Structures are given as structure tokens and as C-alpha cells.
Amino acid sequence: MIDKLNIVEQRFNEVSDLIIQPDIITDKKRYVSLNKEYKDLGLIIEKKKIFEELLSNVEEAEKMSKSEKDEELIQMANEQLFESKEKIKVLEEEIRLLLIPKDPDDSKNVVIELRAGTGGDEASIFAGDLFRMYTKFCEGRGWKVSLVDSSPGTAGGFKEIIFEVSGVDDVYGILKFESGVHRVQRVPQTETQGRVHTSAATVMVLPEAEEFDIEINMNDVRIDYFCSSGPGGQSVNTTYSAVRLTHEPTGIVAQCQDQKSQHKNKDKALKVLRSRLYELELNKKLEEDSKKRSSLVSSGDRSAKIRTYNYPQGRVTDHRIGLTLYDLQNIVNGDIDKIIDELKLVQNNELLKNTKEIF
């Protein structure tokens, strides 16, 4: 372990020197990448200092227990020895997790797309419930939620809604587990017989691509301007502020009509387009990786049912890890931390198995 940590410290010192070099500072892509690496390595170096201190405590306590004649001092030394060894066990697990190569996309902001699936009006209402759940979850973490585009359902909720989430800590790394089909079982508002129906909505979580991640040739993009629709001020249906972008080589479409400014709508639509193109490349990588190892993160298969929200029984089941929680009301009100924590734990254990050679 200590040999591996010494190698990490050597790399940390190299990166510390690199990020102050003028040619690195002017290379935006490399500068951002190295700053991220510097931050991640810094966490490991902090743990290394504590680890070395504990090893020193163990060595000191062992010497004391062998050389001292006083029974009270020997007992104190043995207590320190036991305490330090227990702390080392816990710290070693923390360091092992930190040494696992991180997904470089984890630190990115995200674009989330929710679409009503099977179930008609009830599916649209459920998509609205999911949007509310994610909004509350993000607000609880101090993340910013910004609407991009939406298509309301006829009985409430949304046929489709697209929104951005931005924050300071691993937004994609936390929300990426939400991609897939979410299913709800409950009595719809329109049901007169009291029968339980099953409806579904699809969640797509895309890492928000930066300009240097995906370069878009604007000559390949058709830009259409149209009037905004839905609730709003005087500009709705009167000015051509809404923007639709079509990437002709792939046929991918992105649009935004949330802002009154045509320019702001175009910028938001471009972010979505860039993220969708980035997702194409990401899915290729995930499919290649999935041949080597299993992953809890969907590899482009959006038909995979990942979670069921059962209202009559008050339970939520995540099918990927067989987790069932009888806490539906809190979960749909944004308390999804416990589900994500369990998913991350399973993934980390899987990664540890696949990276034993590191240690």
C-alpha cells in the first residue's frame, strides 16, 4: 500500500509543477484535466499523511509494549496499538476506493431527459412526479436545476421534459445511476374502478459535454426559429425566440424554448446537442467496457427496467441490485440518497474486485 501511495505522491508533485506552466494554462482542455487530477490526487495525499502517522503510532506502541516494565504504560501502549490498527483497517478501505481510476465524466454537470412511456396520461403524470423528485433531490444538495424544454401532458405532468443540473461535486457521478425505465404501479386519477395500473417513464442522464469534448461543425447544423408555446408572458407565440437545432450527419435534434431570448435558447439547445453527440461516443465506450465487466450504468439500453414505485404497498424496488425500501413517500419527495449510496457501494465493490492488482 505504501509503495503505491509513494507513486501517487510522485505524480501529485508532477501535476503540481505542470499546472503552473504557461503552455499548460493556455491549453484549456489539458489545464482542466490536470486541475481535476490535482484535486483527486490531493485527497489521496491527505489520507497518505494520516496513514503514515498511524503506522508510526503502531511502531511506537510496539516498541513501548516490549521495552516498558510499568504495567500501566504497557496497557496504554497496547490500547494505542489496537486503536491504531483498527483505524488503519478502515483507512486502507478508503484509500483503496480512492485509488480506483475514476470515470472522468463523473465530475461533469448533466442534462436529464424524462419521457412518458406506456400508460397514456398516467405516464405523463408520473414523468412529472419524477421531475419533482429529482428537483427536490438536487435542491437538497445545493445544485441548480434549469429547464431547457418541455411538452406538457394533457392531464398534467409532461410528455417530455429536458433540464440541466449543475453543481460543484460529481453531479454525473451521482445521477448516472438513474438512467433507464422507471415504472409506477398505482390507481390513476382517471380510474373509476379502483384498479391498479402500471405505467412507465424513461430517464436519460447525459454528461454535459464541454466545447473541447465535442467539436461541432456549425455547417452541419440546421437552425430553425419558431414561436414558443405554453404558459408565459407576452413573447409567447409572438416572437421567434424558440430554437431547434438539427445535426444533419446524425439526425439528432435539440431544441429550447424556455428563455425569452433567442440567443439564450440557442446556447441551451447547443448544450443539449453537444451532450447527445457526446453520449453517442460514450455509449460506444460503455458497450466496449461492458464486454470486459458488468456495469450498473446503462450502456445505451434505454429499455432496461431499473426501478418500480409501488404505491399500494408503499415500496420502491431497484431491480439491478434487488433493493426494496418501504419508504415510498420520502423517496418520491427527493430522498433517493439511500438508493444511490447502495448502487455506488455495489459498483465500488465490483471495481475493487477488478482492480486487485493495484494493491
Tens place of pLDDT for every residue, the chain, 359 residues? 788 888 889 999 999 999 999 999 998 878 878 888 888 899 899 999 999 999 999 999 898 888 877 888 888 888 989 999 999 999 988 888 888 777 778 888 999 999 999 888 999 999 999 999 999 999 999 999 999 989 999 999 999 999 999 998 789 999 999 999 999 999 987 677 888 999 999 999 999 887 667 888 899 999 998 887 655 444 444 567 889 999 999 999 999 987 778 888 998 999 899 988 988 877 776 666 555 445 565 444 456 799 999 999 999 999 999 999 999 999 999 999 999 999 988 888 887 776 654 44
**Euclidean distance between CA atoms 162 and 264, whole angstroms:** 15
| pTM of the complete model | 0.73
Residue 102 φ/ψ, nearest 5 degrees: -80, 150
Helix and strand counts by DSSP (H, E) for the chain? 9, 11
- The dihedral built from the CA positions of residue 281, 283, 286 and 291, taken in this order, carries a sign that is negative
Question: Do residues 226 and 256 touch, judged by C-beta distance below 8 A?
Answer: no
Q: What angle do CA 240, 114, 300 make, to 5 degrees?
A: 115
The x, y and z cell numbers of residue 100, run together, are 480506483
Instruction: Indicate the domain borders of the chain.
Output: 2-99, 110-349
**Euclidean distance between CA atoms 296 and 208, whole angstroms:** 20
Architecture of domain 110-349: 2-Layer Sandwich (3.30)
